[in-house]
Amino acid sequence: MAIKEINTDALITAIIGGIEDVKGNEITILDLREIENTVCDYFIVCEGNSNTHVNAITGSVQKKVSKALKDKPWHVEGEDNAEWVLMDYVNVVVHVFQKHIREYYDIESLWGDAKITTIESNL
């Protein structure tokens, strides 16, 4: 079990690094481990300013995770219109939104029981 935790922590670190490398905004981690019947352990949510920015964030995350951990997402969805891209790394699911789409779906409040950590931007 400890190996899984180390890999998950390393995965989260790589994902956050990939988002920060291209100035992704409003990064939030939702810890879902205490909630029953969830599809994964963590959601990482962030936003980009445009579809180009959203695609840059997803590309940066995939590159960073691939380089650091030799891993790639099991599934990626939403790249065509790049308003909401979901990257599924099995234990960790990354949601990259455009701001108005994030506000509309308000995924953080849907998972109100999750422990939420906000990553301070280093801008």
Domains of the chain in start order, with CATH, are: 2-118 (3.30.460.10)
CA gap 114, 117 in Å, rounded: 9
Could you tell me which residue, 113 or 54, shows the higher pLDDT?
A: 54
> Alpha helices, DSSP H only, in the chain?
2-21, 51-69, 99-105, 107-110
Question: What mean pLDDT do residues 71-92 have?
Answer: 95
Residue pair 11/114 in contact by the 8 Å Cβ criterion? no
Rounded CA separation 22/7 (Å): 23
Q: Is residue 6 pLDDT above 90, yes or no?
A: no
pTM: 0.92
For residue 10, the Cα-to-chain-centroid distance in whole angstroms is: 13
